[in-house]
Structure 1
Amino acid sequence: MDACRSRASGLAVLACSLALLAGCSGVGSPVTTRATTTQAAPRATPTPRDGTDLQSDYQRVIKDVLPSVVQVQSDDGLGSGVVYDGKGHIVTNAHVVGDGRTFQVTTATSEEPLTATLVFSYPQQDLAVVKLDKVPGGLRAAAFGDSSKVEVGQIVLAMGSPLGLSSSVTQGIVSATGRTVSAGDEDGGPGATFANMVQTSAPINPGNSGGALVDLDGRVIGIPTLAATDPDLGGAAAGIGFAIPASMVRTVADQIVRDGRVTDSGRAALGITGRTYVDAGYQPAGVAVVEVREGGAADKAGLRAGDVITGLGDTDITTITSLTEALAEERPGARTTVTFTRDGSEKKTDVTLGEQ
């Protein structure tokens, strides 16, 4: 269940595809980042580090965190989860729980699988919370880190149940932060888009979904969700994986634990149903508005069915995926401009974005 695709950014753009670690596939569009030149600071003299020190760090973190990583078995497959609190709440991926309501969870302290019930699934951010029906003794909640302090180059460990091998650990570094990636749905169409993802070189394999990406302080900095596949090779693109940042995990999970659902998504929306519009040359040329939700942002801005959206702010819109990615960079309540065509004429309108 887990081949994944992604987009790389920087001076070179990697063409690859994105899929959830539970088997959905789709196409991600390129991301680019700007580089700035700054005056180099004086270099500090590094302190030599004994290899045994790093090994001890690994072993300490694994001993501390691995008991908080569980295996989650649904009717459709197997994934991982992270113990969120001492009351039996476990956070995992929405695509791990799928359409299920009850699950078998194997913890570090349980000899037999325990039954857990779904609290709420939030596919828009690919997160879900399940709760153990009976909390075993010694259940240990993981500590979640501060996403704003995650830095490129820091060493991380990925913990989960890849290919059903429970309590497995891989290591790598944080390759990039702030990535926006999109995953396709099971039919190959546009799926969810996620902003501010953590990119890592730690190997992420089927079954790692919903597990833990951990720093050497023993804090969870992300939930592994996507891995890259190379469409030319038809297999995994080694060393390109993505994790939902800890800050988003806490935001969503806290609401689910407290309210039983997500009450404040923080995700901007136009309030339309749309599809990719293809021009006379069979090239994607915008998003055709199929339906406008009454009272939504698009409705208030005067958009209507049949319009073709070609721009959001300064971003050109050519596909439904590019529109979703542009919205992922915005916040509800933000004001921007929508460029669209109606009856062959280009128009612009100001819009205050709503919430998804």
Structure 2
Amino acid sequence: MSAQRPDDPQQWPRYGQPLPPQPPRSPHRGRTAVLALAAAAAVGVGAVGLGTMGFGLGAQHAQPAAGKAGWPAPLVQPVGNSKTAATQPNAAAMDTAVQGVIPGLVNVNSELGMQGAETAGTGIVLTSDGEILTNNHVVTGATDISVTDLGNGQTYPATVVGYDRSQDVAVLKLSGASGLQTAPIGNSDSATVGEQIAGVGNAGGTGQPSVAAGRVTALGQTITASDESSGSSEQLQGLIQIAANIQPGDSGGPLIDSSGQVIGMDTAASTNYRFRMQRGGAQSGGGQGFAIPINQALSIAHDIDSGNRSATVHIGATPFLGVSVSTSDGVGAVVQQVVSGGPAAQLGLAAGDVITAADGNRIDSATALTNSMDSYKPGDRVTFKWTDPQSGAQQGQVALGTGPVG
């Protein structure tokens, strides 16, 4: 079965009444999110000229952007039983529910300065002064973020308060926002298999709200998303599985029940990605999606908002090493590119070197290096060990810079 992350620029069927059209965006906007999700591990440590996010979630794309046929597609693997099925929900009732949630949503547009690209996603308004819940992969690699509120039509600059890459959750703060309508938050513990739902978002990055109606097909699901080019992977657990056509651009948008309450945050879809059931269940066709239960997402958002940094929760600016890396059979993180003048260049790292440790902690993969960077902040001095193909074992210390988000 194929799977896709919601962030592509294709046109998909709309459900309910769309808002007035927004000014047209770059024709590559949605598809660049594919790039953004194809190399997360690299960006976590300062990738250049590659993707922005490595694990397959709500905004991954299996199809390369126009003119970029060489971009690899992440592999998403769901774990656990996957029940498909059901009929479509009552259109009139769901339309009413959808119209009630739209004013509490935002479109999130990220500029990826190091890639010369843009991505589009969705966000959920948590507070009237502009605290926004979205997927981490929607803003990964961003050097500039602008957010358009669907309730008042205004666009605001945004900063990232913090993120948890392992859970694909990020919290944004809008500058100068007040009086925003918040989304109606429900209780994901009340979700049941078979109930009618709808995923609301910004499919295709057009700026107009879109809706994918369907039903809950399974609870407590786990998916592993891998970037075959960098070797980076992450696993999301406890997800709500749905039979609904979640599309690129819907990432970070709400999954609502028939009463219009937000019970989840859309994060992964199966339109173009290949899913492989690892235990139990049978392969199912396209149109399957996954959402992070809203209770789970809000718990992480609370930690971020409270400044509770942890092994997975990063607060504030992203540290920057200035390399793109791939995995080398458990040996370490293989340097592919080095940013001129960056911390890695100052260390003397070059393409082909293999990073094996950071402050004494073993680095055995691209993912390990990315995760290790989350425990630091810009300005921290870190001692790295690496192997130079010509000179052998090397060691050096350098101050990390400030890089793109996540």
**Which bracket does the TM-score occupy, shorter chain normalised?**
0.5 to 0.7
Larger fraction in strand = 1
CA contact (8 A) 2:58 2:251 kept: yes
- AA paired with 1:155? Q
CA contact (8 A) 1:105 1:114 kept: yes
- AA paired with 2:56? A
Q: 2:209 aligns with which of 157, 163, 167?
A: 167
Q: Percent identity over the alignment?
A: 31
1:21-170 mapped onto 2 (5 Å cutoff): 21-23=58-60, 25-29=73-77, 31-33=79-81, 54-75=90-111, 76-100=118-142, 102-137=144-179, 139-165=180-206, 166-170=208-212
CA contact (8 A) 1:109 1:136 kept: no
- AA paired with 2:60? G
SS, match of residue 213 in structure 2: strand
Q: 1:252 aligns with which of 300, 317, 323?
A: 300
Q: How far 1:256 moved relative to its partner?
A: 1.4
Question: 2:197 matched to 1:196?
Answer: no
1:314 is matched with none
1:253-306 C-alpha deviation (Å, 9 max, x unpaired) = 1111222x544869xxxxxxx97679xxxxxxxxxxx77997x9xxxxxxx999
- AA paired with 1:243? A
- AA paired with 1:159? V
What CA RMSD, in Å, does the superposition of the two structures yield over aligned residues?
Answer: 3.7
- Distance in 2 of aligned mates of 1:121 and 1:30: 23
1:273-284 mapped onto 2 (5 Å cutoff): none
1:215-226 mapped onto 2 (5 Å cutoff): 215-226=257-268
Runs of 4+ in structure 1 displaced over 6 angstroms?
290-294
1:163-312 mapped onto 2 (5 Å cutoff): 163-165=204-206, 166-185=208-227, 187-228=229-270, 229-231=272-274, 238-259=286-307, 261-263=308-310
SS, match of residue 144 in structure 1: coil
- AA paired with 2:299? T
- Distance in 2 of aligned mates of 1:111 and 1:29: 38
SS, match of residue 118 in structure 1: strand
- Distance in 1 of aligned mates of 2:58 and 2:363: 35
- Distance in 2 of aligned mates of 1:59 and 1:95: 28
TM-score by length of 1: 0.60
Q: How far 1:184 moved relative to its partner?
A: 1.7
The one of the two structures with greater contact order (alpha-carbon pairs below 8 A, sep at least 6) is: 2
Q: 1:136 to 1:109 in 2, by over 3 A?
A: farther
SS, match of residue 97 in structure 2: helix
- AA paired with 2:59? A
SS, match of residue 77 in structure 1: strand
- Distance in 2 of aligned mates of 1:292 and 1:162: 40
